[in-house]
Structure 1
């Protein structure tokens, strides 16, 4: 890698512990707290204090070591969201082994694929996960031990029995010495919106850098709401950020807009980590006023950009809301940019400035020329937060000649070095030679009062290439027509961006578990 004035640098002076052991890092932070609440189920209001969380993780870690779990092993966890999930993950990391998660809702084909990638030796699951996938799990000879978070069965050893004997937790240190820059702590998975997920190897150093709480030091922030699952980079490391800061994390089992609003009211949430679709719902939902939402100060959104009109509407509806911040994230390198780091505060349409420890460039993907401000190209990233690599995939397929990661995202940075994401390259619609970004059209559609959700893809047509075509979920109690929406967009965009493929109404937009639109399914509907 050679220096270039067009590279954009996040803060390169990042303080991390010299041992570079994620297990020791998080344990040291947990031990600073005692009987303060660490985790709360927002549905049942069951709680786990920092002391209880620490004791559980340490006891389980010691017990796992006694049955042979060690550095170099892969230990899988498959379960619904529950209080034991986070300390179980930490127990695995304390042993020096590598943790990998399997999503209860991912489906059979993807589970088989993930198992074939990581080949875990130990599998910790809930009885619900076991009953759902027992036949698949028992097909894999690599798994030597099955352990349940619930009551033991003939085939499942119980975590409860493992940690029933009291161990000396006060003087426990993670027993394995790790090489933090190379040893893998987590194997997470890419979102798999266009194919099977890839195994993303995150080192101990990667995990520490993703968990530093510096961006949420504000003492007025006490309680964070995590919307998604603990299988994803975003929700996982936002949880560790807040636990590192000694604050409370609240979750709910089946998140909906209504359950989120109820949770803010009852748990006095002051910062919420959401996906864009839920922020959009907040702008139009009926009955918001029946909840006490004054505690909520910050909404943080990641996955796709929010329209400025949506942000302003939500701010008006939530009386205590100070900011809606946006970030740009991916499993491979955490959060390349965020408005948290914006020196001029939030900027409409942007996803903020480069995050600490990262270097970003924008490149013309056809010529490999590095581009300057306000020039659109592929965003590429490098730095110490970047993953060790994909499992079983040649790095030359995803790194360029300077070892920058080719994100596949189309965007630019402005004169203030704030980044703007236009869309995924593979999702760009080409109409009559013009490039049309679906995200831009979706943002406009979502400002219409009759639209609850929107997704845009290209419909193949002779001569012109692709025509922008919208799939729309109507807002309840509205009678908006397809022509009305086509005309609405036409008034806002250049002629080549108009919805020449029309509008198709659906009951719901297909999304993956991270809330990302499954555009491939929508394209198949047009064929």
Structure 2
């Protein structure tokens, strides 16, 4: 690691960020960058080939901002969006920044209960909706008993069509973004699951989004056309949108990652692709069509869960001339926590030598690895929880208690179990938090456990995630039966399948135990339990 750091008592202190954010806020930064780059390519529809310059996109964002004002949206109100990717899916976020509103997105694939829960947290005044999600959002609004205005990306007789939204040529010519009242006002609300319970709204301010330099994602100079499949609901969408606008880099858009036609995302000359590990492994298992040319591809960024050396080896074999970088990031920090710098030859060399490392410390973030039992900061090659301090972090949860985000010394608890080596390259081993990911989705064990224990034969049940090469994790239930009761694996699985969504099914199977390993406080030790399963001791 470069000598621009200091280490005190096993705590890695990086230099402060030198870049100072524009005090006028995100709206002005986006507006001026889009105006400056008005003739550059901003977006390409991967399916139709339709192209969009920053100037054309800016015009639609200005019109949408005017429409928001005419609809009664004011500074500090919440605007939402629920849609897959298309040329207008970023407009709600940008137009909201222009008028000082907060943006919070939902995903079209959410169930009604999940969408309703998130909706109630933010209670948006207006929501932009894809045609595929109109019925879902109508049901959510009815259940929430509110009067949220709906704007539809497509024709609509019942709601406002996006094509008619904010058309006002006079105001358009005179339009300027608002200057924020306080640069630490909330601008973005991202949803993320906690260690238990339901998702919370993670608040980012104009300051936390703009504090890092526009190039802080460390992509190097080769990113001219980027691809990421994430819808506006996911943090990656905003991370790459922010990079695109501030650096004048184009994005190629597909509605979503198509498992039945995986290679079509490379039909365009993509130079950088952001693929979660599930998408990357699916590509590794799918023969590449002869018509697909990936010669322009320079960098693949992956992440979202711990990644094995064997997975990276498969990806490298498939893309032998492409750098494959693991990012470590969370919604709580904008835009990422650890990565290798693709513009630094020394770091690129480390990346090739340490394929499953998620990178070196970054300017503006301090790091320590904490022993979970003693709270002591650990040295190289000792595993514990990763904790950080940074100005790029969230300001708290939206309309919810934020206790527990930070420790008593103000360090952000990432909930990730990892270590760094003698070169200060970091590795993430596992999640300390009880939740785990199945494909894109955070699976909350408590919800599944609460259903399993209603089975008449079950005394207690613990659900854990078992690593899976394609899907990140599969849910497995470890079950303790009532004394004298009996039940089979198939019976437990069928009982649950009838009551949950597909992603919550027990693809990892069911195991039975007579007792669980416990912590000193008497709680089930999930970490030890998972190790027992992986080591086939139960």
TM-score (structure 1 length as normaliser): 0.78
1:48 deviation in Å? 1.8
| Aligned residue runs from structure 1 range 134-213, under 5 A | 134-154=138-158, 156-167=159-170, 169=172, 172-181=175-184, 183-191=185-193, 195-209=197-211, 212-213=214-215
Is 2:118 the counterpart of 1:118?
no
Is 2:388 the counterpart of 1:378?
no
Alignment partner of 2:241: what SS? helix
Q: Relative to structure 2, which stretch is displaced further, 228-237 or 4-13?
A: 4-13
Residues paired across the two proteins, number: 457
Partner of 2:360: 353
For residue 18 of structure 1, the aligned residue among 13, 17, 22 is 22
Partner of 2:48: 44
Partner of 1:506: none
1:79 deviation in Å? 2.0
Closer/same/farther in 2, CA of residues 192 and 220 from structure 1, 3 Å limit: same
Which consecutive unaligned segments of at least 5 residues does structure 2 have?
1-6, 437-463, 481-488, 490-499, 513-538
1:290 deviation in Å? 4.5
Q: Aligned partners of 1:399 and 1:20: how far apart in 2?
A: 29
Q: Quick check: 2:263–2:288 contact (8 Å CA) kept in 1? A: no
Q: Aligned partners of 2:220 and 2:366: how far apart in 1?
A: 26
Alignment partner of 2:386: what SS? strand
Alignment partner of 1:315: what SS? helix
Closer/same/farther in 2, CA of residues 79 and 68 from structure 1, 3 Å limit: same
Q: Quick check: 1:200–1:391 contact (8 Å CA) kept in 2? A: yes
Partner of 2:372: 365
| Aligned residue runs from structure 1 range 77-476, under 5 A | 77-154=81-158, 156-167=159-170, 169=172, 172-181=175-184, 183-191=185-193, 195-209=197-211, 212-215=214-217, 218-256=220-258, 259-264=261-266, 266-318=267-319, 320-321=321-322, 323-334=323-334, 335-340=336-341, 344-345=347-348, 346=351, 347-426=354-433, 442=467, 446=469, 455=473, 460=478
Which consecutive unaligned segments of at least 5 residues does structure 1 have?
430-437, 447-451, 463-500, 502-511
Q: Quick check: 1:211–1:241 contact (8 Å CA) kept in 2? A: no
Q: Aligned partners of 1:68 and 1:454: how far apart in 2?
A: 43
Q: Aligned partners of 1:219 and 1:317: how far apart in 2?
A: 23
Closer/same/farther in 2, CA of residues 520 and 338 from structure 1, 3 Å limit: farther
Q: Aligned partners of 1:193 and 1:254: how far apart in 2?
A: 28
Q: Aligned partners of 2:211 and 2:361: how far apart in 1?
A: 14
Supply the RMSD in Å over aligned alpha carbons. Answer: 3.3
Closer/same/farther in 2, CA of residues 217 and 344 from structure 1, 3 Å limit: closer
Alignment partner of 1:402: what SS? coil
Closer/same/farther in 2, CA of residues 219 and 167 from structure 1, 3 Å limit: farther
User: Alpha-carbon deviations, 1:251-288, whole Å to 9, x = none?
Assistant: 21131356452231x31001000101222233332235
Q: Aligned partners of 2:35 and 2:435: how far apart in 1?
A: 48
1:57 deviation in Å? 0.5
Q: Relative to structure 2, which stretch is displaced further, 163-172 or 241-250?
A: 163-172
Q: Aligned partners of 2:103 and 2:510: how far apart in 1?
A: 38
Q: Aligned partners of 2:24 and 2:219: how far apart in 1?
A: 22
Q: Aligned partners of 2:24 and 2:178: how far apart in 1?
A: 14
Q: Aligned partners of 1:102 and 1:211: how far apart in 2?
A: 28
Alignment partner of 2:403: what SS? helix
Q: Aligned partners of 1:169 and 1:454: how far apart in 2?
A: 47
